[in-house]
Amino acid sequence: MKKDAKTKRMTITVYRDGKIICPPGDITALHLKDEVVISKSIEFYNDPEPCFIHRGAVCNRLYEEIYAALRDAFVMKNVIDSADLPEKLRVWLDIKEPYSLTAS
């Protein structure tokens, strides 16, 4: 697949008190809590000590869910406050609250 043919991902910026705390980037720039990755590795692969392959697969699945949820949320608003995110996303993301997200 050519690079041009890839689906364009939204760029996410994370703010707290009007200051950027996570520079603009793809959603993979948002850190997932390690305990969530391990929990999901156990759920998906029965693997409590995931190798980089399982860890990467778990992260990809979680990022796809996050991407879909944020894409749908950004249709409604330009800025999303952390309190407005689905609870599972607030649990998954390793960002201290409160924060807001913008997309471009």
Evaluate if residue 2 carries a pLDDT over 80.
no
Question: pLDDT, tens digit, for every residue of 64-93?
Answer: 999 888 888 888 888 888 888 888 888 898
In whole angstroms, how far apart are CA 53 and each of 17, 47, 92?
37, 11, 19
Question: pLDDT, tens digit, for every residue of 13-62?
Answer: 888 888 888 878 888 888 899 999 999 999 999 999 999 999 999 999 99
Sheet with strand 19-25: strands edge to edge: 19-25, 12-16, 100-103, 79-81
Q: Given this model, what pLDDT does residue 8 score? A: 59
pTM: 0.80
Three-point CA angle 30, 42, 56, nearest 5°: 40
In whole angstroms, how far apart are CA 85 and each of 19, 33, 82, 103?
19, 16, 5, 14
64: part of which helix (H) or strand (E)? helix 52-76
Q: Given this model, what pLDDT does residue 97 score? A: 78
